Amino acid sequence: MQSTTEQRNPNSIDIDLKSTSEIVRIFHEEDKRATAAVEAESEAIAHAIDLCVAAFRSGGRLFYVGAGTSGRLGVLDASECPPTFRTPPEMIQGIIAGGDVALRRSVEGEEDKPERGAQAIRERGLTPQDILVGIASSGRTPYVIGALKEAHASGATTIFLCCVPPPEHLKSCVTHFITPIVGPEIITGSTRLKAGTATKLVLNMITTAAMIKLGKVYNNLMVDVHASNTKLVARSVRIVQTVTGVDAATAEAALTQADGRAKVAIVMLTKRVDATDAAALLEEHSGFLRSLLPPHNL
């Protein structure tokens, strides 16, 4: 049976005869279907987030695995967590069929090798505390299926993100499914389009919401940002100012004493303690600023 992702889209028939404006309109119409499909999976996404939070709290790691666009999106999401939320690089990892070279150049043949997916999981030594999110729009990618089966055998929690109904033959090795059914692509089979959009939306929610639940966001501010460049240093200063009400110079001085850790600087200024005591207070409160600071109306 032909997968939904391989079917022709009636809305884009004769698209090669359309004007540029008409092509753009078709994209808008189809992208709305992608966001609606993700919204329909809200409960499934929320459950996946809760699974990740529980794993992180027990010292577990999150792995994304995919091929092509799916793999690139997983690597992208994982690589953005350390600067945004000051997570250790090993906490959230992306695995792509073909390795890092596949991030820039297509290595399509690798996705057909389930044994390579299984090997990638064995090399990373997954444990029952870990979570593997397999990403495959069609629900059929052998590399991803091999990884899911190996992760399941290791006792890890397995989540499958695909844009088709849950494949029956995988229900024995997948703990949880997220299945935004986006429908046929504008260009038949080109899952870098709607399926890619849906995948990016889901991954955004999984890691961001998990980090919120771990106390790495206060109000809507990334208080655990790793100030590794000029832009992020300036953002850290603004965050400290916003929460504490101090001027820029005071915020900068506190951040210097806190080794660039905005959350520590905030506690230093509000509790009038040094960086060591501020860090200890945060440790006592599991990293949550809410339980340390008076109510704010930011």
What residues are labeled active site? 80, 111
Other C-beta atoms closer than 10 Å to the C-beta of 38 total 22
pLDDT given at position 5: 85
Q: For 171-210, how does the pLDDT look when each residue is reduced to its tens digit (9 = 90+)?
A: 999 999 999 999 999 999 999 999 999 999 999 999 999 9
> Nearest-CA neighbor of 263 among 229, 239, 234, 291?
239
Residue 182, token pair as written in the block = 């986006």
Calpha distance 113→173 (Å, rounded): 18
pLDDT given at position 228: 85
Calpha distance 216→87 (Å, rounded): 9
Would you say residue 296 has pLDDT above 80? no
Question: What are the residues facing 66 on neighbouring strands?
Answer: 96, 135
Per the CB < 8 A criterion, the answer to whether 60 and 90 are in contact is no
Q: For 74-125, how does the pLDDT look when each residue is reduced to its tens digit (9 = 90+)?
A: 999 999 999 999 999 999 999 999 988 888 887 778 889 999 999 999 999 9
Task: Count Cα neighbours of 11 within 13 Å in the Cβ-side half-sphere.
Answer: 15
The pTM of the full predicted model, rounded to 2 decimals, is 0.93
**Beta strands per DSSP E along 4-127:** 62-66, 92-96
Q: For 202-258, how does the pLDDT look when each residue is reduced to its tens digit (9 = 90+)?
A: 999 999 999 999 999 999 999 999 988 999 999 999 999 999 999 999 999 999 999
Residue 298, token pair as written in the block = 């930011």
pLDDT given at position 153: 97
Per the CB < 8 A criterion, the answer to whether 134 and 147 are in contact is yes
Mean pLDDT of 259-288: 96
Mean pLDDT of 138-148: 96
Would you say residue 283 has pLDDT above 90? yes
pLDDT given at position 294: 80
Mean pLDDT of 59-68: 97
Calpha distance 40→178 (Å, rounded): 10
pLDDT given at position 248: 96
CB-based burial of residue 131 (10 Å sphere; 0-12 exposed, 13-18 middle, 19+ buried)? buried
Would you say residue 298 has pLDDT above 70? no
Type of residue found at 171:
K
What architecture is the 218-298 domain classified under in CATH?
A: Orthogonal Bundle (1.10)
Mean pLDDT of 143-169: 97
Q: For 18-52, how does the pLDDT look when each residue is reduced to its tens digit (9 = 90+)?
A: 999 999 999 999 999 999 999 999 999 999 999 99
Other C-beta atoms closer than 10 Å to the C-beta of 195 total 30
Per the CB < 8 A criterion, the answer to whether 121 and 148 are in contact is no
3-state secondary structure 129-175: CCEEEEECCCCCCHHHHHHHHHHHHCCCEEEEECCCCCCHHHCCCCC
pLDDT given at position 138: 94
CA separation, residue 184 to residues 10, 69, 200, 242, 261 (Å): 9, 16, 18, 46, 46
CB-based burial of residue 178 (10 Å sphere; 0-12 exposed, 13-18 middle, 19+ buried)? buried
Residue at token pair 């504008």:
186
Residue 278, token pair as written in the block = 């501020």
Per the CB < 8 A criterion, the answer to whether 185 and 26 are in contact is no
Q: What CATH superfamily is the domain 4-213?
A: Glucose-6-phosphate isomerase like protein; domain 1 (3.40.50.10490)
Domain range annotation of the chain: 4-213, 218-298
pLDDT given at position 245: 94
CA separation, residue 177 to residues 46, 99, 129, 170 (Å): 12, 25, 19, 10
